[in-house]
């Protein structure tokens, strides 16, 4: 019985050593780069001529403002196509930017209309455009 316990212990040590070699001895630390907010690298003005980025993706820009034209920061919006949605939060300029394949997308609020505001619609369409402005009414 002692021999069997010793064999199992040695086998576990060997497996752990192989796992450590497989992760280059870094203890399994996640080396995936941290996600960045797309809006942080977006130019202030986007013209139709420069909406296609180097990767062949198109930049879709959603701007959320209140009924006085002031930007609304921190609104969670999502761009959707075929039942798949990608979320983003608006920055201090009220802008959320998505880099997606050229297609016909819709935009929705992730958790409904933000508190303190109302909106006439729940879903918005880009159509052929790559920029969309949503106006919220102060409640």
Query: What are the structural domains of the chain?
Result: 48-138 (2.60.40.10)
Provide the whole-model pTM: 0.61
The distance from CA 116 to its chain's CA centroid, rounded to whole angstroms, is: 24
pLDDT, tens digit, 9 for 90 and up, residues 81-100: 998 999 999 999 999 999 99
Instruction: Indicate the SS3 state at residue 4.
Output: helix
8-12, 66-70, 105-109, 111-115: which range is least confident on average?
8-12
pLDDT, one tens digit per residue, over 5-49 is: 556 655 544 544 444 434 444 444 444 444 444 443 333 343 444
Whether residue 12 contacts residue 20, with contact meaning beta carbons closer than 8 Å, is answered with: no
pLDDT for the residue numbered 3: 58
Q: What is the pLDDT of residue 33?
A: 43
CB-based burial, 122-135: b 16+ in 10 Å, e otherwise: eebebeeebbbebe
Q: SS in 3 state form for 7-64? A: HHHHHHHHHHHHHHHHCCCCCCCCCCCCCCCHHHHCCCCCCHHHCECCCCCEEEEEEE
């Amino acid at each position: 019985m002692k021999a069997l316990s010793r064999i199992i212990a040695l086998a576990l040590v060997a497996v752990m050593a192989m796992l450590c070699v497989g992760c280059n001895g870094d203890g399994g630390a996640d080396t995936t780069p941290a996600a960045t907010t797309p809006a942080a690298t977006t130019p202030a003005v986007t013209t139709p001529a420069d909406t296609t980025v180097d990767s062949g993706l198109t930049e879709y820009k959603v701007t959320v403002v209140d009924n006085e034209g002031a930007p609304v920061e921190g609104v969670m919006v999502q761009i959707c196509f075929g039942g798949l949605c990608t979320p983003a939060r608006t920055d201090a300029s009220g802008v959320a930017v998505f880099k997606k394949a050229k297609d016909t997308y819709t935009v929705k609020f992730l958790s409904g209309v933000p508190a303190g505001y109302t909106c006439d619609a729940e879903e918005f369409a880009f159509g052929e455009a790559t920029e969309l402005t949503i106006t919220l009414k102060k409640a």
